Amino acid sequence: MKEKVKIGIIICDRYRRCAGGKCFRAMKNKKGAFDRYKNMDIELVGYTSCDSCPGGNIEYAVEEMIGNGAEIIHLATGLIVGYPPCPHITFFSDFIKTKYDLEVVFGTHPIPQKYLNIHGKLGTWENSEWEKIIQSTISNLKTRILYD
């Protein structure tokens, strides 16, 4: 029997009406940041937005997700690829790790190629901090195009 991991996903409030299609497809197919679970089953125990800048829902949503068994929190790819990317993403990660002692993963679905193109032109992710943040969602060209 495969090990099961329980995760929560926090999305950017700009996309609060997002139905989660790319995240859920990536979770099902173990793509992007979900590649790390290729030999495990994944159970989603929470999905919500940050509640707009500066992320007032981070404190309360994570606590509820833990009540549902969350072991890992994913900060969705939308926080990374938005225009501009979330200026609070590292604070969210540090806060969750410190207050709740949970692992935090940057990203969910692979970065769509169209976003990689524009952020490349803008130079958005050309520093060591952002290179670390995008690492688990960069995928390969073929996969990025599938998520455009």
DSSP labels, 107-130: -SSPPPHHHHHHHHHHTTT-SHHH
> By the 8 A CB rule, do 114 and 82 touch?
no
Q: Which residues pair with 75 in a beta bridge?
A: 10, 106
- Check whether 133 has a pLDDT greater than 70: yes
Domain residue ranges in the chain:
3-146
With bands split at pLDDT 50, 70 and 90, how would you rate the model's confidence at 105?
A: very high
pLDDT value for 1: 55
Q: Give, in degrees to the nearest 5, the angle at Cα 91 between 73 and 112.
A: 60
Topology, domain 3-146: Rossmann fold (3.40.50)
Nearest to 137 by CA among 85, 68, 63, 61: 85
Judged by DSSP in three states, 106 sits in strand
pLDDT digits (tens, 9 = 90+) for 9-60: 999 999 888 889 999 999 999 999 999 999 999 999 999 999 999 999 998 9
CA separation for the pair 5, 7 (Å, rounded): 6
Preceding peptide of 112 cis, ω within 30°: no
